[in-house]
Amino acid sequence: MKFTLSILALCGLIAMAFSAPLDDSANAQILCYDFDNIGVDGYDFSFETSDGIRRKESAELKDFDDGKKALTVDGFAVWTAPDNKIYRLDYVANEKGFQPRGDHLPR
């Protein structure tokens, strides 16, 4: 469970690091926010801000063959960088680790 929480924290940090502030980000407003806490079985959340940042993430509790349980996470973040390019980062965090995907990432 500590591993899963570490992955969740890492996802948040990566999204924040890649979401470079725009000129109007100091005045950005939350346009949409949804959160569904399913308890220990998982969660779903999403938000969108007026400066173009969007994020959606969901997690569910998965049973593994060895009898252990862990959250598997699936999500994405979209933002506009200072170069005015729109970036999208898709990611999965599961028993295989954190797996980011994006056209801007090396393969």
**How far out from the chain centre does Cα 88 lie?**
11
For residue 77, which of 3, 24, 2, 10 has the smallest C-alpha distance? 10
Residue 101 CA to residue 107 CA, distance in Å, equals 9
Specify the pTM: 0.69
Instruction: Give, for all 107 residues of the chain, the pLDDT tens digit.
Output: 555 555 655 556 565 555 544 447 788 899 999 999 987 789 999 999 999 999 999 999 998 888 888 889 999 999 998 888 999 999 999 988 999 999 988 88
Calpha distance 7→13 (Å, rounded): 10
**8 A C-beta contact, residue 78 and residue 98:** no
